[in-house]
A and B are shown apart, each in its own frame.
Chain A
Amino acid sequence: MRRTAVAVALLLAVAASAAGAALGGRSSQPKLTVFAAASLTDVFPKIAPRDRYSFGGSNALATQIEQGLPADVFASANTKIPWQLHRMHLVTRPVNFTANKLCIIVAKGNPLHIRANRTLERSGLRIVMAAAGVPAGDYTRTVLAKLGMSDLVDKAISQETDVREVLSKVVLGEADVGFVYATDAKTVAGQVGVVGLPERAQPTVVYAAAAVKASPHLKEAEAWIRQLLGGKAQRELRAAGFRPVPH
């Protein structure tokens, strides 16, 4: 009985030290929790595969941060939301790290012959877009205003909570027309048709990231954001269809 007890104690000690060594090794590079815009779903894990991600509408993520949900990094599809959080002293100074363009997606082959013009006002056309407050939704409203078709906002049959939901509705054939980022369309290339928007109608789409001040890994979070500006991250973003930050 005593020998068994000693053996068990030894085993536990070995296991504990092994675990301690393993954890000690890992704690020098903590896994960060990144709250990021839905359009970054595919590219961020390519840049930093080890970290934890929560993707969604940038405004919903911002509210979660406001309400105290644990996040280390916040990456938004616009600059407005991170600066709002910065003014509330919740995040560090936002850094612009990439840019994007908007486009229209339709069914493969564009059977309804949609163009970025009055064809969108055809009656019975099933249009989806992101809701107001979601960056993609605000950009869509800017595009439609520039095209002189703001009334289409009320004609939409669904106001989605993030841009990937808009994408899926068109891919699944539930909607005829969707307003998404060019990078989202690229992820389903071959499954949908893409209709470009005239340059004059394009809004300025700049993504900004900031470190959450309440994070226990603030230094690592700021380093993570600096890495977004580095060569590898910028190459991955470019490959996914993102654009350089305009000057």
Chain B
Amino acid sequence: MSPGRLVAQLSNPVVTDALVVSLKTSAIAQALVLLLGTPAAYLLATRRFPGRSLAIVLVELPLALPPAVAGIGLLAAFGRLGLLGGTLNALGVRLGLTQVAVVLAVAFVAGPFYLRQAIAAFETVDPDVVGASRTLGAGRGRTFFRVVLPLARSGLAAGEALAFARGLGEFGATIMFAGSLQGVTQTLPLAIYTEFDENFTAALAMSAVLVVVSAALLVALRLTLQWQPSRPTSRLLFAPSR
């Protein structure tokens, strides 16, 4: 099992198709997670409202669920016989066994990893700094993008790295809800499972790809965190000491 044989597998269409499907669906899913998850996390971190604890439990629930249960959950919600099935069917939309289903499965399973870290990251942002920004005239939006986000950046990046890695490796929910079709829904983990009895070398090559990608992610994250060390914001330079 030489590295040469593994590298040769990169010209195998099963491998390249799986790589494309994985990267494409991951990118879309993570974009969804970031776009929807960041404001949600900020709200959950900074606002106190009745039902907040319940909302946080619901958000973290997929973390505790085995992926197979997540798959059943997605079918129960979006499947043709599921809760929203009738409505979706009436609109002519079928989600099961499509590439959209892969995106949903990845977002559902990986999202909570980002959300949990993001909530924690936003909670470490000193509200006094935010308050100072507002009293100095910056609006809510400007404060969020210019003050809050940079301060929470390392926590958010760590959360997203975790979510991306988790999403890339997603198998159970995907295979149940999206099925497996080369070039459409067959992600790297699904392709590994299908190929390991037909072409073990291909399966090994794809596993190597996943390991390399995950390692690269962690290295990149380490480096980013070293360049921008998170400073404690609880002690301000211009506010009176407590």
Seen from chain A, the residues whose Cβ lies within 8 Å of a Cβ on chain B are 57, 59-60, 62-63, 126, 128, 131-133, 156-161, 165, 169, 172-175
Q: Is the CB of A160 within 8 A of B179?
A: yes
Q: How far is the CA of A159 from the CA of B175 in the complex (A)?
A: 10
> CA A94 – CA B147 in complex, angstroms?
71
Name the A residues within 8 Å of B85 (CB-CB): 173
Chain B residues with CB under 8 Å of chain A are 75, 79-81, 85, 94, 96-98, 175, 179-182, 184-185, 193-194, 196-198, 200
Q: CB-nearest residue of chain A relative to B193?
A: A161
Beta-carbon contact of B80 and A161 below 8 Å: no
Given contacts A63-B196, A156-B181, contact A169 B175 (CB under 8 A): no
Q: 14 pairs across A/B with beta carbons < 8 Å?
A: A59-B197, A59-B198, A60-B196, A63-B196, A133-B198, A156-B181, A157-B98, A157-B179, A158-B180, A159-B182, A173-B79, A173-B81, A173-B96, A175-B97
State A133–B81 Cα separation when bound (angstroms).
Answer: 30
Beyond A60-B197, A161-B180, list 10 extra A-B contacts (CB 8 Å): A157-B97, A158-B181, A159-B181, A159-B194, A169-B96, A172-B75, A173-B81, A173-B85, A173-B96, A174-B96
Q: Which residues of A contact B181 (CB under 8 A)?
A: 156-159
Prevailing SS type, chain A contact patch: loop
The answer to whether A174 and B97 touch (CB under 8 A), given A60-B197, A62-B197, is yes
B197 touches A133 (CB 8 A): yes
Contacts of A57 in B (CB 8 A): 197
Smallest beta-carbon distance A41→chain B, Å: 16
With A and B bound together, what is the CA distance between A173 and B79 in angstroms? Answer: 8
Determine whether the beta carbon of B80 is less than 8 Å from that of A174.
yes
Interface contacts (Cβ under 8 Å), in number, total 63
Give Cα A57 to B194, complex, Å.
Answer: 10
Residues of A within 8 A of B180 (CB): 131, 158-161
- Complex-state Cα separation, A59 to B199, whole angstroms: 12
Q: What is the bound-complex CA distance between A174 and B175, given in angstroms?
A: 13
A158 to B, closest residue via Cβ: B179
Residues of B within 8 A of A165 (CB): 175
| Chain A residues whose CB sits within 8 angstroms of the CB of B179 once the complex forms | 128, 157-160, 169, 174
Task: Please report the C-alpha to C-alpha distance between residue A161 and residue B193 in the assembled complex, in whole angstroms.
Answer: 8
Flag if B185 contacts A158 (CB, 8 Å): yes
Interface contact B194-A161, CB-CB below 8 Å: yes
Alpha-carbon distance A157/B80, docked complex (angstroms)? 15
Distance in angstroms between the alpha carbons of A65 and B162 in the assembled complex: 34
**Chain B residues within an 8 Å CB radius of A173:** 79-81, 85, 96
A165 to B97, CA, bound (A): 12
Question: CB-CB < 8 A to B194: which residues of A?
Answer: 131, 159, 161
Q: Nearest Cβ distance between residue A177 and chain B, in whole angstroms?
A: 12
User: A161 contacts which of B97, B98, B175 (Cβ < 8 Å)?
Assistant: B175
